[in-house]
């Protein structure tokens, strides 16, 4: 069974160019193991950059990001879900999984595809799959690389409402079963209130945390009223003093 | 009416001539020679052109340095290159093949460079996100994106190579389809000329349907709609 790592973020300084204003300055955030944390904020605030630092892809900053006690770039690669499905169109569904997780056994890859509701689609090329099915493959691919740490970068944009509901239900089911640590980047409060245990809202440059809310009702039990309550908290919470 | 007949032979006459030259003449030997030259030149040109094309597509200063040379290479008359090389290297096989390669390489370079430039940043990001090592990036991300362009270069390149190999054979060689064609010219032998042309076209068609198409189908089978 998966056991998600904890994440400790302490960024003293992150900027894209030496003379650019800092994206992050003295930014601290710690993420508990096996939780789903949503990073909410407008585009350009640095959410995706933060995600890439957690992923260990972006190491050009002053400070330290530790995943499970190890520097991020030395930790096992996370399961990443990007904005679009971003499958390699020249590979079948299962080969898309094998391409990023070369050591994976066929049975495990097939089980993951089954898991996301794609039984029998392993040998289909992406163009033979619907948009929703492609996203499912992307989710399975992320789990195949690392079922302990999932990083999702705006995974539900440019999808219609039904598809979003469907994928979010699938996401919740997978998360409750596998218990990974999840960091979800989104500009939509609705995504956060449905999926997250904790919603961290970022604003400004350098980015600061303007609210940090624990969503205490279990995901499955949340009613629309809960969603509205959380959304109001995220929108209105006064900036909290971060330790 | 002997004269017009000799210049406009019937298809039957051409077919008979073709058959006769294949059995008793030098047709097979000539075709073999030409095919050998075309194949060697093609393989060398594709290898060199693809390598240079990738370099120019990836490395900006290299492109700035050599882009105008590529244009010069593209537009340099084939016959000039051939004559220069024949003078320098003599009427040799090496001179002929080198001349063909030099004519072909710029075309491959341009096509492949375009291909490399069209590479999607999205897939680079994907590779970075999953920390794919270089060998796997090459295999799963670069090569598949490059293949359609290499195939396009191969297809246009082959047609060019057939043609210039023949011209260079006319210019100076000891055999091959082009050489024989120049002999037919001296005798005003249209029947022989057409017979050789037909043989040549048959080879090209066979190559297209037995080699190029199956390769394309295999390499590009992931593409949604294939005409």
Question: Tokens 């003293």 — which residue?
Answer: A12
Mutating which of A48, A88, A142 best tests the B interface, going by the most B Cβ atoms within 10 A?
Answer: A88
Does the structure show a pLDDT above 80 at A237?
no
Task: For B151-163, write each residue's pLDDT tens digit.
Answer: 999 988 888 898 8
* CB nearest A82 (choices: B129, B222, B224): B129
Would you tell me how many other CB atoms lie within 10 Å of the CB of residue A229? Answer: 15
Among chain B residues, the shortest Cα distance to A90 is held by B222
Query: Contact A145/B140, CB-based, under 8 Å?
Result: no
Inter-chain Cβ pairs, chain A and chain B, closer than 8 A: 44
**pLDDT confidence tier of residue B183, bands split at 50, 70 and 90:** very high
- Minimum CA–CA partner of A51 in chain B: B129
For the cut 60, the answer to whether the pLDDT of residue A240 exceeds it is no
Confidence class for position A241, pLDDT limits 50, 70, 90: very low
Q: Using an 8 Å CB-CB cutoff, list chain A residues near B224.
A: 127
| pLDDT of res. B2 | 52
Both structure tokens of B164 = 């210039």
Please tell me the least confidently modeled range out of A219-233, B48-62, B82-96, B170-184: A219-233
pLDDT bracket for residue A242 (50, 70, 90): very low
> How close is the nearest chain A Cα to the Cα of B110, in Å?
24
Q: Which two tokens stand for residue A104?
A: 């994976």
Pairing, β A181-186 against β A198-203 = unpaired
Q: Do B222 and A90 touch (CB under 8 A)?
A: yes
Tell me the chain A residues in contact with residue B132 when contact means C-beta distances shorter than 8 Å. Answer: 99-100
Q: Residue B188, exposed/middle/buried by CB under 10 A (0-12, 13-18, 19+)?
A: exposed
Decide if A91 and B140 are in contact by the 8 Å CB cutoff: yes
pLDDT in tens, A146-159: 889 999 998 888 78
CA dist., res. B122 & res. B135, Å (int): 18
Query: What pLDDT shows up at residue A238?
Result: 55
Asked if residue A131 has pLDDT above 70, the reply is yes
Has residue A134 got a pLDDT over 60?
A: yes
Query: Quick one: average pLDDT of A88-116?
Result: 90
Residue B184: pLDDT above 60? yes
Closest partner CB to B136 (pick from A56, A82, A102)? A102
Q: Which two tokens stand for residue B69?
A: 């040379």
Nearest Cβ partner of B130 from A80, A91, A126? A80
Highest mean pLDDT among A150-159, A167-176, B41-50, B203-212: B41-50
Which of B126, B136, B223 faces A86 most closely, judged by CB atoms?
A: B126
Omega before residue A206 within 30° of 0, cis: yes
- Interface residues on B facing A, Cβ-Cβ cutoff 8 A: 122-123, 125-126, 128-132, 136, 140-141, 144, 222-224
Question: Best residue in A93, A94, A100, A104 to probe B by mutation, most B CBs within 10 Å?
Answer: A100
User: What does the pLDDT read at residue A243?
Assistant: 37
pLDDT value of position B221: 83
A102–B223 C-beta distance less than 8 A: no
How deeply is B129 buried, as exposed, middle or buried, from its count of CB atoms within 10 A (0-12, 13-18, 19+)? buried
Q: What is the mean pLDDT of residues A128-149?
A: 89
Q: What is the structure's pLDDT at B83?
A: 92
A86–B131 C-beta distance less than 8 A: no
Residue A167 contacts residue A117 (beta carbons within 8 Å): no
Share of chain A above pLDDT 90, in %: 25
Query: Chain A: residue nearest B125 by CA?
Result: A82
- Residue-level pLDDT at A94: 92
Span A123-133, average pLDDT: 89
Question: Is residue A84 a contact partner of residue A139, using CB atoms and an 8 Å limit?
Answer: no
Structure tokens at B84: 């220069």
Q: What is the DSSP letter of B138?
A: I
| Mutation to test the A interface, candidates B121, B129, B217, B218, most A Cβ within 10 Å | B129
- A86 → closest Cβ in B122, B140, B222: B122
What Å distances lie between residue A50 and A76, A183, A210, B155, CA to CA? 17, 10, 16, 46
Q: What is the pLDDT of residue A166?
A: 86
- Nearest chain A residue to B126 by CA: give it: A86
Token pair 């080879």: residue: B203
Average pLDDT over every residue of A63-78: 89
When CB atoms are compared, the residue of A57, A90, A125 closest to B129 is A57
Q: Residues B42-98: pLDDT tens digits?
A: 999 999 999 999 999 989 899 999 999 999 999 999 889 999 999 999 888 999 999
| Contact: B131, A77; criterion CB under 8 Å | yes
Share of chain B above pLDDT 90, in %: 57
Determine the pLDDT at residue B113. Answer: 94
Q: Distance (Å) from the C-alpha of residue A96 to the closest C-alpha of chain B?
A: 9
Contacts of residue B148 in chain A, CB cutoff 8 Å?
none
DSSP-assigned states of every residue in A95-120: HHHHHH-TT--HHHHHHHHHHTT-TT
Enumerate the β-bridge partners of residue A203.
A208
Tell me phi and psi for residue A13, to 5 degrees.
-160, 125
Angle between the B27-58 and B11-23 helix axes, to the nearest 10 degrees?
Answer: 90
Phi and psi dihedrals of A67, rounded to 5? -115, 115
The region of weakest confidence among A66-70, A217-221, B2-6, B137-141 is B2-6
Residue B1 has pLDDT above 70, yes or no: no
The reply to whether the predicted model has a pTM over 0.80 is no
Cβ–Cβ of B223/A91 closer than 8 Å?
no
Which are the contacts of B225, defined by CB distance < 8 A and separation ≥ 6? none
Which of B126, B133, B144, B217 is the best substitution to test chain A (most A C-beta atoms within 10 A)? B126
pLDDT given at position B4: 59
Mind giving me the DSSP string for chain A?
---PPPEEEEEEEE-SSTTSPPSEEEEEEEE-TT-EEEEE--TTSSHHHHHHHHTTS---SEEEEEETTEEGGGSPPPEEE-SS----TTS-HHHHHHHH-TT--HHHHHHHHHHTT-TT-TT--GGGS-HHHHHHHHHHHHHHH-SSEEEEESTTTT--HHHHHHHHHHHHHHHHHH--EEEEEES-HHHHHHH-SEEEEEETTTTEEEEEEE--S-GGG--HHHHHHHHHHHHHPPPPPP-
Which pLDDT score is estimated for B100? Answer: 94
ipTM above 0.85, yes or no: no
Residue that the structure tokens 């990036």 belong to: B137
Q: For all residues of chain A together, what is the average pLDDT?
A: 87
Residue B225: the pLDDT is 67
Confidence of residue B226 (pLDDT cuts 50, 70, 90): low
């Amino acid at each position: 069974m998966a056991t998600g790592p904890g994440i400790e973020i302490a960024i003293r300084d992150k900027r894209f160019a030496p003379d650019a204003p800092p994206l992050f300055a003295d930014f601290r955030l710690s993420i508990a193991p096996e939780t789903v944390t949503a990073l909410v904020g407008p585009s350009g605030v640095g959410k995706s950059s933060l995600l890439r630092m957690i992923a260990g892809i972006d190491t050009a900053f002053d400070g330290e990001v530790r995943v499970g006690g190890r520097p991020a770039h030395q930790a096992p690669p996370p399961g990443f879900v990007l904005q679009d499905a971003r499958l390699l169109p020249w590979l079948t569904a299962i080969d898309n999984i094998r391409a990023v997780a070369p050591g994976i056994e066929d049975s495990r890859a097939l089980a993951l595809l089954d898991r996301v509701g794609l039984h029998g689609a392993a040998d289909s090329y992406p163009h033979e799959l619907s948009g929703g099915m492609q996203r499912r493959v992307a989710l399975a691919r992320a789990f195949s690389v690392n079922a302990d740490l999932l990083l999702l970068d705006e995974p539900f944009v440019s999808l219609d409402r039904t598809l979003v509901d469907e994928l979010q239900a699938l996401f919740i089911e997978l998360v409750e079963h596998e218990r990974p640590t999840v960091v979800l980047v989104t500009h939509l409060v609705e995504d956060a209130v449905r999926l997250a245990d904790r919603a961290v809202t970022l604003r400004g440059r350098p980015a600061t945390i303007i609210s940090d809310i624990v969503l205490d009702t279990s995901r499955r039990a949340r009613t629309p009223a809960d969603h509205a309550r959380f959304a109001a908290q995220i929108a209105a919470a006064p900036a909290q003093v971060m330790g | 009416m002997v004269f017009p007949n000799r210049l406009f032979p019937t298809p039957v006459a051409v077919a008979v001539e073709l058959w006769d030259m294949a059995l008793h003449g030098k047709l097979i030997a000539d075709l073999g020679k030409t095919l050998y030259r075309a194949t060697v030149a093609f393989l060398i040109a594709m290898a060199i052109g693809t390598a240079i094309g990738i370099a120019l597509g990836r490395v900006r200063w290299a492109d700035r340095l050599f882009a105008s040379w590529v244009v010069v290479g593209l537009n340099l008359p084939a016959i000039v290159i051939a004559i220069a090389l024949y003078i320098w290297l003599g009427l040799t096989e090496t001179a002929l093949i080198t001349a063909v390669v030099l004519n072909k390489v710029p075309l491959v370079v341009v096509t492949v460079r375009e291909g490399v430039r069209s590479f999607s940043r999205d897939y680079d990001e994907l590779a970075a996100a999953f920390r794919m090592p270089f060998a796997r990036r090459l295999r799963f991300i670069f090569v598949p994106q490059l293949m359609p362009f290499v195939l396009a270069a191969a297809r246009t390149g082959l047609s060019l190579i057939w043609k210039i190999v023949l011209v260079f054979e006319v210019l100076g060689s000891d055999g091959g389809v082009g050489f024989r064609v120049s002999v037919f010219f001296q005798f005003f032998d249209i029947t022989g000329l057409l017979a050789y042309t037909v043989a040549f076209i048959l080879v090209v068609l066979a190559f297209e349907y037995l080699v190029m198409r199956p390769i394309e189908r295999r390499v590009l089978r992931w593409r949604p709609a294939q005409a």
